[in-house]
Chain A
Amino acid sequence: MIAAYKAIAKHKLRTAKGLLKHYWPSYLGILLGVVFLGSRLIAAIGQIGLARPPTPAYIPYLPALLIVMNGYRLWGQTPVIRINAATLHYLYHTGHFQRILLLKYLWSLVKNLLAALVSAGLISGFRQPEFVTYTVLLTLYLYAGVISAWLSYHGKGRQRRITLVVYLVMSAGLLMPNAVLRFAGVGGGTLAALYMLYRLPHLNLARYYQDLFRLDQNMAYVSRYDLAQMLQTTAEYAANRRRRLLLHHLPLNRSNALFLKSCITTVRTDPRIWTILISLLLFSTLLYRTSLFAGIPVLGDPASATPISVLLIMTVYANMGELLQRQMQTMLNKQRLGLFLPMEQRQIVFAYIAWGSLLNLGLTISVGCLMASNAIYLMAFYILYSAIYAFNMHCVVGANRAMRSLQKVIRILQVLIGFLIVA
């Protein structure tokens, strides 16, 4: 029996060895980052002591970050508790499967406890009894998030809706100003999640197996640094993903068809791209509004932190613009190759400009809230940016040499007006 567990451990070690062999610079970077943040944390504890409460500017963002994290787990629809597909196949009809699953539940609890410890420390400044209170509260919140995501993954319609309600109740509870209300919301949600887990009739193992199989394959390709296979698997998965929102679900007519198509294509953009863009926004906010990076050359210097922050935000804008630009070019190319669209080129361009302007409005409002921007300057930024964006889309269509040169000027202009956000 021990031989079986040894074999699984051997497989995991060999996979880890492959990852280290090919990606050691990345791991070294992560390690340095962890060491840096750890040292900052220890320094913070040292300076603050255990009695004086700190009030850093980033405290309100931490619960929000945890809410986003639990939301991502719930909506991500990937298994939050993972084993190897081979472990499921070979051990499911043995007594070991339940034990392995239980160990995975416990391991997940430990990981969330660690995350809660760090978050609680940052929120409470390691001040007693708030530190302990927050640790318990956040552990419950994060772990209940894992269980809800697990239930939602294996459940069907009604069960999924209930997990969504549990998530909303817990998240609302976490944001309450009063400790009793916080514990009532989060504790109630946790109890409901645990009760549902207890009552869960069956795991959806067919779906679980398929996902684990794909994840294992991907991990094997990553471990062997087989990039071609990795991309192939990811593309196949994206192509076969079930689409919930379909074009014909929307109120289509001749005048809005292209606008709605561009909306739906944007919604279907690879979630990893959204994750990267949101991370960039959050990082630039932390850089601009907090002293988290104080002490680091360049990033910690307020004089350079502001332009870096603006540059990152404008990178997000540029990427959004690029996404829509590519969609529009694909559509125009198809039209050129013979796809019949009952509209002129300028109408196609206009549809993408309209959708882009709406997206930019949403983004600008979010950025304004995050960066606490001046409303007048923010409005000025939006109007200028939208005008430049629309002009740029026209330049893309008439891509001659002069237009391409003009696009370079436009890019510089876009970055410059970004400073209105922090004005």
Chain B
Amino acid sequence: MILQFENVSFSYPTTLALNNVSFEVRLGEIVGLIGANGAGKTTTLLHIIRYLHPDSGRIRLNGIDITKIKNENFAVTYIPDTPVFYEELTALEHLHFVKALYPDNKVTLESIIDRLELNDHLDKVPSALSRGTKQKLMVALALLRHYVLLVADEPFTGLDPGQIVVFKQILTDCRREQKAVLLSTHLLDMVEGLCDRYVMLHRGRIIAQGTKQDIIRQYDLNSDSTLEQVYLTLVRRAK
């Protein structure tokens, strides 16, 4: 078990964003956190990277309460939904910057540049990059960090079909390397078949979790249903 979310509740000043949310992510698996806009996906991820702290409940990483883990030992890497860069540094300078922060990571700059096809963009500043290339650079920078859990918020935004294939391959490589992946998305067709398990959120509550087949069985749904159909049916029932 790498990540355990235990009865986490959290409110923004006027909204209950997470209501008693519990789930877990294990090593060597890809978990999809799915839900509509405003379901609480990003809030959940922000708790995992410790940008937010629960009003109640607990989050553990490798069995340790995440508030007790020192920053330098916090082995989580995060890809936010909006790329973030130093606007005056080039793509290559960003890669060197993060590599300098994590010199022990065995991933080399060359390999990551080749894999994400960043060669033609290395001398450009972020404002000169397309949305897809920015996203690829964010992925490259996330992979240069030290991590056992990769957390990605809407990672497919802006990627073209070729880039999506490459990114999916990166995620399956993480699984093979016994790392854990938690990705949030509302593009359900994109993650169907990629994720081992799903956590379905609706208005801050978990409405179902498990493999697609488990969920279909548990809620007595049509066995031929797509992930999208499963999710929409469960949301309708939750209402």
Contacts and interface: CB of A to CB of B under 8 A. Distances in A.
Interface string A1-43: 1111001101100110010000000000000000000000000
B210 interface: no
Interface of B: 13, 46, 49-53, 67, 70-72, 74, 76, 78, 80, 82, 84-89, 93-94, 96-98, 100-101, 103, 127, 141, 145
A107 B25 CA distance: 42
A10 B101 CA distance: 16
Interface stretch (A87-95, A260-268, A412-420): A87-95
B85 A14 contact: no
A422 B71 CA distance: 62
B88 A90 contact: no
Contacts, number: 87
A171 B93 CA distance: 47
B82 to A, nearest CB: 7
Given A98-B71, A209-B51, A220-B127, A15 B88 contact: yes
A3 B98 CA distance: 9
A202 interface: yes
A97 to B, nearest CB: 6
Nearest to A217: B87
Contact of B100 (A4, A84, A205, A242): A4
Given A94-B71, A205-B51, A4 B87 contact: no
Contacts of A3: 96-97, 100
Given A4-B100, A94-B101, A220-B127, A10 B46 contact: no
A108 to B, nearest CB: 22
Contacts of B70: 95
A373 to B, nearest CB: 43
Residue in B50, B72, B87, B145 with the greatest tally of chain A CB atoms within 10 Å? B87
Contacts of A10: 88-89, 93
Interface string A209-253: 100010011011001100000000000000000100000000000
Contacts of A4: 97, 100-101
Nearest 4 A-B pairs (CB), nearest first?
A14-B88, A220-B87, A3-B100, A205-B51
A10 B82 CA distance: 23
Contacts of B71: 92-95, 97-98
A86 B72 contact: no
A93 B84 contact: no
Contacts of A94: 71-72, 101
B80 A7 contact: no
A77 B72 CA distance: 30
Nearest to B74: A93
Chain A interface size, as a band, is: 35 or more
Contacts of A98: 71
B53 A202 contact: yes
Nearest to B141: A90
A15 B127 CA distance: 14
Contacts of A93: 49, 71-72, 74, 76, 145
Contacts of B49: 92-93
A18 B84 contact: no
A90 B127 contact: no
B86 A8 contact: yes
5 contacts: A7-B86, A7-B100, A90-B101, A205-B46, A223-B87
B87 A15 contact: yes
Contacts of A202: 53, 67
A296 interface: no
A201 interface: yes
Given A4-B101, A93-B71, A94-B72, A205 B88 contact: no
Given A97-B71, A205-B50, A206-B52, A91 B101 contact: yes
A80 to B, nearest CB: 19
A8 B100 CA distance: 12
Interface in A91-144: 91-98
Contacts of B13: 156, 242
Given A86-B84, A90-B141, A220-B87, A205 B76 contact: no
Given A89-B80, A94-B72, A220-B127, A206 B86 contact: no
Nearest to B146: A93
A4 B103 CA distance: 11
B89 A7 contact: yes
A85 interface: yes
Nearest to A95: B72
Contacts of A224: 127
Given A92-B71, A95-B71, 10 more contacts: A7-B89, A8-B97, A18-B88, A90-B141, A93-B71, A95-B70, A96-B101, A205-B46, A205-B52, A223-B87
A292 to B, nearest CB: 39
Given A86-B84, A98-B71, A1 B100 contact: yes
Contacts of B127: 220, 224
A90 B98 contact: yes
Nearest to A96: B101
Residue in B13, B51, B53, B141 with the greatest tally of chain A CB atoms within 10 Å? B51
Contacts of A92: 49-50, 71
A224 B86 CA distance: 14
A11 B98 contact: no
Contacts of B85: 86
Contacts of A85: 84
Contacts of A14: 88-89
Interface in A49-105: 84-86, 89-98
A8 B63 CA distance: 35
A7 B72 contact: no
Contacts of B94: 7
